[in-house]
Amino acid sequence: MNLQAMIRPDVATMAPYTPVQPFEVLAARLNRSPAEIVKLDANENPYGPPAGVARALASMRYAHIYPDPESRALREALADFTGVPAEYLLAGAGADELIDLTMRLFVAPGDALVNCPPTFGMYAFDAAVCGATLVSVPRRADFSLDVDGVEAAVARHAPKLLFVACPNNPDGGWLADADLARLLALPTVVVLDEAYVEFAGSAGIAEVAEVAEIGCSRIGWVPQRDNLIVLRTFSKWAGLAGLRVGYGAFPAGLMDHLWKIKQPYNVSVAASAAAVAVLEDGGYLERHVARMVAERERLTRRLAEVAYLRPYPSQSTFVLCRVLGRDAHALKGALEREGILVRHYDSARLRDHVRISVGRPEQTDRLIEVLKELDR
């Protein structure tokens, strides 16, 4: 039997998603202990979740029983947290599952969807898995969204879905309310990915005209809009990346169909218990979000001191830097040999850039020390 010939041709030829390697694997390769590694490549929260998460996991009584297929306790806690009624909310194994679920709800092979690169790679990846026609509207030179280009693409291709991250990954840019309103006026469903929204807004953006709106989630818009989906995650602000839990707000008319097609036990007992515990300790999260925002601003200032780097302003948990006068991939490798992990992308638009996650202050200091040593 020729198994290769039986595989879907589009899957056989599609490019794989490239995740970051586990830092334990890299530590072994570099002959360093994991404690020596400065991990600034995947936008994880360096402070981890509140202590209540460990207590909740330790006291789980029903790990041997399948989880609630409707995640009722978590959705009720999320309703209190977001102000959006639970009937609009769906929990998932990370926002990644909800991206996939949204595509499976709408996209048949050949259907069009709009993507705005450079942005989060899962949109293009899941589009390929679904056999969608991906219509790319590249971002402008400053990575801002080309709203005129999106409008033209929608008029030409009639896509079912438009994916927009706000703040965007990898540059950390914000989408203004007026631009979002223009997108929502289009005859397509807008999926707004707010994975980093908790970190948006700071004193460092006083020059931005929309400063008052930055940092405000648009999840509360969903009950009043029939073509807006907002996705959020516990991976970043809540420090639960390893447990895989996210959520989304969806128009009421979609919920019955989403319940039909989602995996029945998609959010584990552990993930649900951890997420509820997170929501019970808002003070911890507010403190650490504030610490990370302050460190992001400091990191941006310190990176600007490095002669060969040009950091972009960010509203997220990372800073994108253009690398001048040297190979960006080689810079990533040089940092890696010093036990410092950053992200590099093998794409034409980003080949001369690196993305650096916000870490603890001592990690920033070590990073800047090595970057300056490499310039000597």
Tell which residue, 88, 90, 316, has the closest CA to residue 196: 316
Q: What is the pLDDT of residues 24-40, one digit of tens each?
A: 787 788 778 888 889 99
DSSP H/E element including 311: strand 309-311
Q: What is the pLDDT of residues 139-163, one digit of tens each?
A: 999 999 999 999 999 999 999 999 9
| Position 215 confidence tier, pLDDT thresholds 50, 70, 90 | low
- pLDDT for position 22: 75
Q: What is the C-alpha separation between 130 and 112, in angstroms, rounded?
A: 11
Q: What is the C-alpha separation between 316 and 197, in angstroms, rounded?
A: 7
Of 204 and 350, the one with more pLDDT:
350
pTM of the model: 0.93
Over residues 58-64, the mean pLDDT reads 91
Q: Provide the 8-state DSSP code for 19.
A: P
Q: Is 132 exposed, middle or buried (0-12, 13-18, 19+ CB in 10 A)?
A: buried
Q: What is the C-alpha separation between 370 and 53, in angstroms, rounded?
A: 35
- Decide if pLDDT at 18 tops 80: no
- pLDDT for position 214: 58
